[in-house]
Homo-oligomer: A and B are copies of this chain.
Amino acid sequence: MEKLYFASDYMETAAPEIIEELGKLQGRKLTGYGSDVISASARDKIRAAAGVPEGEVYFLVGGTQTNAVVIDTMLRPYEGVIAADTGHVSVHEAGAIEYGGHKVLEIPSVEGKIRAEQIGKLAEAYWNDENHEHMVMPGMVYISQPTEYGTLYSLSELESISAVCRKWKLALYIDGARLAYGLSAEDNDATLADLARLTDVFYIGGTKCGALLGEAVVFSKKGRVPHFFTMVKQHGALLAKGWAAGLQFDTLFTGGLYEKLGRNGDEKADRIRRALDEKGYVQEIRNRTNQIFITLTGEKARELSEKVELGFWENKGDQVVMRIATSWATTDEETDRLIELL
């Protein structure tokens, strides 16, 4: 019997709707670097969905690239970015933020989340320190929605974080690599328009949410980063065939496809979570998005991994934490088979 794969949410090609649109392009001429009509249409749809008619939208290729470009271009050279100690920029980007010259000011997190209060304390400590001119100035806050652990910030938490950022003049940036799964989660109460309203910039993830590639950066206000285009180029992040990324989002933001794809991942994950509960598995982190973390003995992990590919998360004493990731493409059949195996 064929092996099952629940290791990550970027194992499948793109949503059929996208592949179909791509097929229709044959013979068509499109101008370069995002100046094409498809990208323009995608930008309009995103601006409408996010309620920022004056916002600026750019399409980059991948998550780490987007974080590196956004953070480096938003910060002044002497500023650092506040992030959870478990944040993608803190741990899993091979030092891309530091490569751009900026320190990640890590703060302790719980289930991937940080609190407004922690941000306020860090900022206050900095400005109250008589020697702060010898230190890295906090210039921005980076959070993920959902987080690395699949958890969500509630609207009220986001409002608190946004308020503390404005108080201390910190830009607020949300990494939405898996935003589709966040927007569609049963317990989510923060809309795209909320994110746009509460942040300075955020990105709508494509790669993990049904696109072949691409992430859509949304600046809520026009002109927030002058010459952003040139800096995208300088970072090697400018696509000549910009429409290749634009088309992903033009399709994803047609007919509610983006949230529909997210919902599929969340629903399959919810079914798996229920099954895990019934079977007595340990899920230390509770969330309603597409990632599930289970703690297993090494033996059990090895046994399972013969039949299903899971994601290794971390060693935890004698035990091991594995990640089950569903996606926009996970089928009922795969879900059934996994539940049976568990």
Contacts and interface: CB of A to CB of B under 8 A. Distances in A.
Interface of A: 5, 7-8, 10-13, 16, 19, 22-23, 25-32, 61-69, 72-73, 76-78, 80, 91-96, 98-99, 101-104, 106, 125, 128-131, 133-137, 207-208, 212-213, 227, 229-231, 233-241, 244, 312, 314-315, 329
Contacts of A28: 12-13
Nearest to A234: B94
Contacts of A72: 77
Contact of A230 (B27, B94, B101, B106): B94
Contacts of A103: 95, 98, 104
Given A65-B236, A213-B213, A241 B315 contact: no
A91 B135 contact: yes
Contact of A78 (B104, B230, B312): B230
A211 to B, nearest CB: 9
Contact of A93 (B5, B7, B32, B234): B234
A230 B12 contact: no
A19 B24 CA distance: 10
Contact of A92 (B12, B19, B31, B135): B135
Contacts of A76: 227
B239 A131 contact: no
Contact of A241 (B68, B94, B207, B329): B207
Nearest to A36: B11
A229 B102 contact: no
A79 to B, nearest CB: 8
A99 to B, nearest CB: 5
Given A233-B133, A236-B68, A22 B26 contact: no
A133 B12 contact: no
Copies of this chain per assembly: 4
A340 to B, nearest CB: 18
Contacts of A104: 103
Given A77-B77, A233-B93, A11 B30 contact: yes
A276 to B, nearest CB: 22
Contacts of A237: 65, 236
B231 A77 contact: yes
Nearest to A64: B236
Given A10-B240, A101-B101, 11 more contacts: A13-B28, A13-B30, A13-B244, A23-B23, A76-B227, A77-B234, A78-B230, A80-B95, A80-B98, A98-B101, A106-B106
A236 B12 contact: no
B238 A62 contact: yes
A213 B23 CA distance: 15
B31 A11 contact: yes
A65 B64 CA distance: 14
Contacts of A29: 5, 11-12
A11 B25 contact: no
A77 B12 CA distance: 33
